[in-house]
Structure 1
Amino acid sequence: MIVRAATDADRPWIRETLVASWAGTRVVVDGRARDAAGLDGLVAEDGGRLVGLLTYEIGPAGLEVVTLDATERGRGTGTALLLAARRVAAERGTGRVWLVTTNDNLDALRFYQRRGMRIASVRPGAVDRGRLVRPSIPLDGEYGIAVHDEIELELTEAPVRIRTGALGDLDAVLELLDGATRWLVSLGRTGQWGTEPHSTNPRRRESTARWVPPGHLHVAELGGRPVGALAVGTAADWIPPASGPELYVNLLVTSREHKGLGLGGALLDHARALAIRRGLPLLRVDCYGGGDRALVGWYERQGFTATEPFTVRLADGTEWPGQVLEQRLP
């Protein structure tokens, strides 16, 4: 999945999406009506299909998310769009992203708060006043709840920053791997990375350190703290060869404490950007292909296509099932 700025060519689709989701393109917030179809926007694209839209406006209060829509739920589209909006806000010199929803929208309140947003204010009767501007606003909303009030949520935490890794990041990256392993073990998923910590494994420490001098290691930071890591380069010897030039994702790990912020998607976006800048038309990655193939499904939701399966014989004589996935880049 790729998130990019909306263009004029996207406007017909944007208008159709807003009409389908909002019964029109006119949005009323705090008694103020705007045509969302004419605002700046971000679109999510998956395999050439437009699957998500975020419209926004930047003002003295920060970047306001006016509308957010995903054509298919549960694919991480909303999270990716919200994270991209945070990056836009940072580029435009503001650290605040905010939005307004209504008192009945319990699903949205859960979604936004799980992604770090906090309730900034409640405006009793704001929707009632909004009906004076747009009488078509329904009286009853989600779950049969009467719609009266607006709730403003905000995110003032610094957006995710991705930088080139250094040797000083080694312990933090290994701790991220340890944390992911502990989480997998708690779920009974020991086939992916086993049960032992990575930080005490000399071979893992050495292999991770080798990514640093060539600039292959990249670290995601939130508030100055490492919360994710990405390593890119060439595929390992046991991986089926690519049909042409490629960039290969050798490592992708994120903090379990920050689940729901779209860190994995942001790091994959970074990998895509690196590949495009280097003129490489293909991005590949491999992952654990055993069990219920949940990780394979996650990469497929990020826009990858599963290609060749493979196996690696481990030191104890067992075989580790892997799956290669690829994404063609524009």
Structure 2
Amino acid sequence: MSAIELRITGAEALDLLEPLWLTLHHHHMKVAAPAAFQDDATSWAARRAGYARWLSEDGSFVVLAERDGAAVGYAVVEMLPGPDDTWVTGARMAEVQTLAVAPAERGRGIGTMLLDAVDARLAELGIGDVFIAVLTGNADALRFYERRGLRPVMTHLARFTAEG
């Protein structure tokens, strides 16, 4: 098996992310509480628009993991102005909006490589404050992030009209 190559990129890579986003979207449907989920086309259109908006922020970036030229994972990182209104943070913060790894590649350390690259890039930018959301029910992701020193600090609640 060939090695994973990582590269820092931006909005120019968006079209490469769709298949990986959709596998993550399907994973969310499996691990989350039953809910009314968007269809694939609507989900990707909304996520792609979000990525374009987030990546327009100065310093925001994508870490793309490729094997033999094919995308097998990615992290999208948005830069946020600081300081935060609740926690003591620096003048800039980062939010990992998505971390996705192709199902066939999971368990091979690609998520770790992606977050290592995110941390290295943030260190270059002088940013140490990082946020990432984990979908309720995604216990494996929560454990993964906690092993990296992140911890839960907020719980979001929701009510969806599509569910009555």
Code of the residue aligned with 1:207 in structure 2: it is G
TM-score, reference length from structure 1: 0.41
Q: Secondary structure at the match of 1:306?
A: coil
Corresponding position: 1:170 with 2:17: no
1:268–1:198 Cα change, 3 Å: farther
Matched residue, 1:268? 115
- Higher helix residue share: 2
In 1, distance between residues paired with 2:28 and 2:138? 13
In 1, distance between residues paired with 2:97 and 2:137? 21
Corresponding position: 1:254 with 2:101: yes
In 2, distance between residues paired with 1:234 and 1:166? 14
For structure 2, the residue ranges without an aligned partner over 5 or more in a row are none
In 1, distance between residues paired with 2:41 and 2:86? 30
Q: Secondary structure at the match of 1:221?
A: strand
1:192–1:173 Cα change, 3 Å: farther
Q: Is contact 1:174–1:198 with CA below 8 Å preserved after alignment?
A: no
Q: Which of 40, 46, 49 is equivalent to 1:203?
A: 46
Q: Which of 221, 226, 229 is equivalent to 2:74?
A: 229
In 1, distance between residues paired with 2:145 and 2:35? 17
1:256 Cα shift? 0.8
In 2, distance between residues paired with 1:192 and 1:296? 19
Corresponding position: 1:298 with 2:141: no
Code of the residue aligned with 1:158 in structure 2: it is A
- 1:74-85 matched pairs, under 5 angstroms: none
- 1:211-226 matched pairs, under 5 angstroms: 211-214=54-57, 215-226=60-71
1:193–1:233 Cα change, 3 Å: farther
Equivalenced residues, count: 157
1:292 Cα shift? 6.7
Q: Is contact 2:35–2:163 with CA below 8 Å preserved after alignment?
A: no
1:196–1:269 Cα change, 3 Å: same
Q: Is contact 2:76–2:97 with CA below 8 Å preserved after alignment?
A: yes
Matched residue, 2:131? 284
1:272 Cα shift? 0.8
1:261 Cα shift? 1.6
- Higher strand residue share: 1
For structure 1, the residue ranges without an aligned partner over 5 or more in a row are 1-115, 117-156, 319-330
1:213 Cα shift? 4.3
RMSD: 3.1
Q: Is contact 2:55–2:78 with CA below 8 Å preserved after alignment?
A: no
Matched residue, 1:189? 31
1:294 Cα shift? 3.6
Q: Is contact 1:165–1:219 with CA below 8 Å preserved after alignment?
A: no
1:192 Cα shift? 9.0
TM-score, reference length from structure 2: 0.75
Query: Percent identical across equivalent pairs?
Result: 22
1:177–1:197 Cα change, 3 Å: farther
1:306–1:194 Cα change, 3 Å: same
1:301–1:195 Cα change, 3 Å: same
- 1:2-17 matched pairs, under 5 angstroms: none
Q: Secondary structure at the match of 1:279?
A: coil
Matched residue, 1:40? none
- 1:80-229 matched pairs, under 5 angstroms: 157-167=2-12, 169-185=13-29, 188-191=30-33, 195-201=37-43, 202-214=45-57, 215-229=60-74
